[in-house]
Chain A
C-alpha cells in the first residue's frame, strides 16, 4: 500500500472534477417533471399582529396554483428545539411554538406569513405582491436589556422574553465569587461577540415532491444532515411516517451551521406538493438568506479573571446574555450553554469556573450554531481577558498563558468547567507557533512598520474546543433530545469495488476523498475502487450529519468499525477458501494469507466468493459482504491550538491590515493534510471576517440594515493574507479508533481573539491607552478609540 494514497496522504479531491466542470448538482440545479415554484410573503416589520390576510387577488393571478397561509398549518406541529436547558432554579426553558408559517403574529423581518405556488417563479413572485395583508405593527424588541426589563413580549403566551437563566457549574458559584472577592488581582472585560450571518454561498433551496400512488414524499434540500431533517419533519412538524419520507441533500454549497436546521420552507414545499400532486421548488434569494438563515454568535458578556500574585489563574466568572432571536432554532439552546460554558476553563488549570447565561428572545432572526458554535464565544472571552490581564500585570502574554497551561503529564484532565480533556500539549503548540510565526523577528518588523508610519501589533491566542459531537450518554444528561452517534455501511460488491454509505454529509469537507483513504488503508486496496454515498436517507443507514467537526471523529469511526467487521467476515471467507482457520488468516496489501504458508487469496477473490457461495459452510457464513456500524463516541475530542496574528494599523484612518496569520493546531492524527489545511484556512478567513469586517446590524425597529452583500462585509480576497498553517504537533485522540479530533471549526474559533489582541497591541505600541474595541474592529471604531 503506497503511503501516497492511504491515511496521511494529501490526495487531491475526486469530487473536484464535477465542481470544476460545472456538473455538480445542487438543489436549485434539479428540475423535476411538472415542477412548480414557491415564493414566500415575508413580514416587512419586526413585530406585529396579523389582522387579516386576503389572498383572493393573488389566487386569481396568472399561473397561480395555490396560496398558503399560517392558517393552513395551524393544526400541525412546530419546529422543535433539540436541547432542553433548565434554568438555575430548575425551571425548564420556555419553548414557544415555531410554526411553518407565522400565525397570529409576525416576529421578525422576513418571518414568512404566506406562500404562493405558481407555474413559474416569476408568476409566484408577482402574485406575492398581490397578497393583501394587514399587520398591526407593534414595538420591536431588539435590545436584550430592554427585552428582559419590559412588558412587551415576542411570545405573549410565555409572558417573558427570557428563555432561560442557566448557571454552570452552579455548585461552584459561591466558591468562584469568593475567589474573585479575595484575589490578588481581578481583570474585568465587557465585550460583545458580534452577530454574524453564516453566508454559505449556495442559498437555501428545497424541492418537495409527492407520489400519490404510494403516499411517498421526497424532499431535496440544502441540508448538512438529511436524516435529522427527516426526523424533525416526521416526528414533530408534519407527522409524515419516516419510512414514507426520503430526504436528499445533493451537492450542498457550504453550510457552516446554517443548514443543520430544519426550516419551515421545507415543510411548506412538502405540504404543497401533496396538495397539488406536483413537485414544488423554492430557492432563497440572498436577501431572504440574510433575513431567515439562522444567524450566529450575538453574545454580550462580562468576564472576570482572578489571579494570584504569581499570575496563576484562580477563577473565571462569566455573565452572558445570548440572543436567540424570535424563535428557538433546533440547537439554539445548546450553543450558548453546553458548547460555551463547558469550555470556559480554556487550556488552563484554573480551579474554578462559573458561567451564567441568560437567553433572550428578540424580534430578530433566530440565532443558532455557526462555525464553532459557542466555542468561539468562550475562546474570545477567555483569551481577551487573559491578554488584558497580562497588560495590567506587566507580564508577557505568552508566558502568562504557559504558566497556566494544563501540562502533558496531567491527562486525562478534569477541567473546572466539567469536561475531561483526553490529550494535548499546549506548550508544544506554543513552541511551534513561536517558530512558524517568527516571533523573534517581530521587533524588526515593528520597527519597519513604524518607519512607514504604521503601528504593528502582535496578538496571540491559545484555544481548546470540544468537538466530535458528541457522546450520547453525556449529552443526554445535559439535555440533548437526540443521540449524536453516527453510522456507516460498507458494501463490498461482488466485483470487488466498494460503496460506503455514510451518515455524515459533505458540503465542502472532502468526504468523498478522505473516507476512502481510511477504508483503503485498512483493506490494503486502491481507494479508487471505493465510493462514498451520502446525503440520501433512502440509501444510507442513518446518520446525524455534519457539524461540530464530527464527520471523521464520529462517522469516520463508524466507517472503521464497519470495515473491521468486513475484515472479520472476509477472513472467514478466506479461511474457507484456503481451508484454514480464520484465526490463521492475515490481511496485508489487499491479500489474505495463511500465516506461515504461501497460500493466499486476494481481496477481490474473497469479494466474489462472498456473492457466489458455492460449497459454502452456510451454517457458519452468510452470503454477501456488507456490514453496518453505529458509533457513539466515548467523549468529545479536544483540538487545541496556538495562533498568532500581526496587524498593521494605519493611525491616520484606523484601517487594520492583517499582515501575518499563523495557526498551529493539534488535530490528533490527520487523514488528508491538504484537506485539513484547507479547512483551517477557511476558518481563519471567517474568524478574521468576524474580527474586522462582518457585522449584523438591526436598527431599533428591527430592520436588518446589513441584508445584502452591499451592506454586510464579506471577507474578499484582498482583505486577507496568505496563512501559515501547521498541524505537526498532533496528540492523538485517545478514545476513537483513528486518533482524530476534527478540524472544521478551529480556524474560526482561534482567530478572532488573536486578531483583536494584535490590534490592541498595535494601538498600545502607539501610546494609546486602548484596552478593548468590540468586533468588528472597523476603521471607524479604531479611529474613534485612538482619539
Chain B
C-alpha cells in the first residue's frame, strides 16, 4: 500500500492505496465522491473526467499514486460557493443537456476544460472536443447547445428549441 495525499475540491485528503488503484476508484471508494462515474474500461466514455492540476483527465486512466501531491477537481466541487449551479451546470439544466445524468459529470468537467482553453468555441469545435465523452441519451444536440450558451453565445437560432 502507498500513502497518497492530494487536494480534492480544495481540501487536503490522503489515503492508503494499492499500486493498481485508479484515481477514479480512489475518488469514488476512498473519498466517497461518487459523482465521478465509471462507464467503460477502455478510457473511451469520459464519464470519469476530472481536472488534475487544471487539466481534464480521464480518472480511470490514471493511477491514484500518480496524483500524489496534485490538485484534483471533481464534479462535486463545481457549484458556486453558495451552492447554486455554476454557469455551465446552469446552462445544462436550461437547455436540457442531460437525461439519465450518468455521463453528465464528465460532460460538465470536459466543458469546463474546453471553455478554459477556448472561451467561444464554434459548434464544430465543441463537437470535436467532446469526442472523448459518450452520451447515449441526448444525441448531443442539447449538450452542444448548453456549452455554447455557457460561453455566452446566442443559441436561439439552433433548431429544435
- B139 and A286 form a contact (CB under 8 A): no
Q: Which of B35, B130, B134, B158 contacts A201, CB < 8 Å?
A: B134
> Mask for B110-147, Cβ within 8 A of A = 1, else 0?
00000000000001101110110111111111111000
| A26 is an interface residue with CB less than 8 A from chain B | yes
Q: A199, B138: Cβ atoms under 8 Å?
A: no
B154, CB-defined interface residue at 8 Å: no
Chain A residues whose CB sits within 8 angstroms of the CB of B33 once the complex forms? 22
**Which one, A122, A686, A714, A717, contacts B130 given CB within 8 A?**
A717
A716 close to B134 (CB less than 8 A): yes
Which residues 1-56 of B have a CB within 8 angstroms of A? 18, 20, 28-29, 33-42, 44-45, 47
In the complex, are the beta carbons of B143 and A709 less than 8 A apart? no
Distance (whole angstroms) from the CB of B6 to the closest CB of chain A: 17
Taking the closest CB of chain B, its distance from the CB of A686, in whole angstroms, is 7
A21 near B79 with CB under 8 A, answer: yes
Q: Is A285 an interface residue (CB 8 A)?
A: yes
Cβ of B133: which chain A residues have Cβ within 8 Å of it? Answer: 717
Does residue A718 face the partner (Cβ distance < 8 Å to B)? Answer: yes
Write out the residue numbers on chain A whose beta carbons fall within 8 Å of the beta carbon of B99.
Answer: 254, 508-510, 678-679, 682
B100's partner among A12, A18, A252, A715 (CB-CB below 8 A) is A252
Given A20-B93, A509-B99, A681-B139: A201 touches B45 (CB 8 Å cut-off): yes
The distance in angstroms between the C-alpha atoms of A675 and B95, with both chains bound, is 10
**B136/A201 in contact, CB under 8 A:** yes
Task: For the complex, count residues of A whose C-beta is within 8 A of B.
Answer: 61
Knowing A13-B93, A17-B93, A723-B141 touch, does A677 contact B160 (C-beta < 8 A)?
A: yes
| Measured CA separation A139–B36 after assembly (Å) | 43
A683-B138 Cα distance, complex, nearest whole Å: 8
A647 at interface, CB cutoff 8 A: no
Contact A251 B134 (CB under 8 A): no
Do B34 and A22 have beta carbons less than 8 Å apart? Answer: yes
How far is it, in angstroms, between the C-alpha of A722 and the C-alpha of B140 when the chains are bound? 8
CA–CA, A451 to B131, complex, Å? 29
B42 near A254: Cβ-Cβ < 8 Å: no
With both chains docked as a complex, state the minimum distance between the C-beta of A730 and any C-beta of chain B, in angstroms. Answer: 16
Distance (whole angstroms) from the CB of B145 to the closest CB of chain A = 8
Complex interface bits, A712-729 against B, C-beta within 8 A gives 1, otherwise 0:
001111101011111000
Q: Are A678 and B35 touching (Cβ within 8 A)? A: no
Task: Indicate if A277 sits at the interface (CB-CB under 8 A).
Answer: no
Instruction: Judge if A684 is at the interface, Cβ distance under 8 Å.
Output: yes
Number of interface residues of B (CB under 8 A): 59
Main secondary structure of the interface of B (DSSP, over half): loop
* Residue in B closest to A687 when the chains form the complex, CB atoms: B139
Among the listed B18, B101, B126, which residue makes an inter-chain contact with A16, where contact means beta carbons less than 8 Å apart?
B101
Contact A254 B93 (CB under 8 A): no
The contact of A200 among B42, B136, B140, by CB within 8 Å, is: B136
Would A287 and B98 count as touching, CB distance under 8 A? no
> Which A residue's beta carbon lies closest to that of B89?
A20
A411 at the interface (CB under 8 A from B): no
Pick the residue among A24, A674, A685, A747 that contacts B101 (CB under 8 A).
A24
- Indicate which residue in A12, A201, A720 contacts B102 across the interface (CB closer than 8 Å): A201
Please determine whether A286 and B39 come into contact, CB atoms closer than 8 angstroms.
yes
Contact B74 A22 (CB under 8 A): yes
Known: A254-B136, A714-B136. A23 touches B35 (CB 8 A): yes
Please give me the residue from chain A that is nearest to B28 by CB atom: A29
Residues of A within 8 A of B160 (CB): 677, 681, 722-726
Contact among B39, B135, B139 with A203 in the assembled complex (CB-CB below 8 Å)? B39
Cβ-defined contact, A201 with B93, below 8 A: no
A508 in complex: contacting residue of B37, B101, B123, B130, CB < 8 Å = B101
Distance of A203 Cα from B48 Cα, bound (Å): 13
Specify which chain A residues have a CB less than 8 angstroms from the CB of B124 in the assembled complex: 718
The closest CB in chain B to the CB of A673 belongs to: B161
Q: Does A33 contact B (CB under 8 A)?
A: no
* B100 near A201: Cβ-Cβ < 8 Å: yes
* CB-based contact B144/A722 at 8 Å: yes
The answer to whether B159 and A722 touch across the interface, beta carbons within 8 angstroms, is yes
Please list 30 pairs of residues, one from A and one from B, whose beta carbons are closer than 8 Å in the complex, sorted by A's number. A13-B96, A18-B101, A19-B98, A20-B92, A20-B104, A21-B35, A21-B75, A22-B36, A22-B76, A23-B76, A24-B102, A201-B100, A201-B136, A251-B101, A253-B39, A253-B103, A285-B41, A286-B45, A508-B137, A681-B160, A686-B139, A715-B140, A716-B140, A717-B140, A720-B127, A720-B139, A722-B160, A724-B160, A725-B159, A725-B160
Other A-B contacts than A122-B18, A678-B137, 4 sampled, CB-CB below 8 A, are A19-B100, A201-B39, A682-B137, A715-B139
Closest 10 CB pairs of A and B: A22-B35, A19-B101, A253-B102, A685-B139, A508-B100, A709-B44, A22-B75, A508-B99, A29-B34, A717-B130
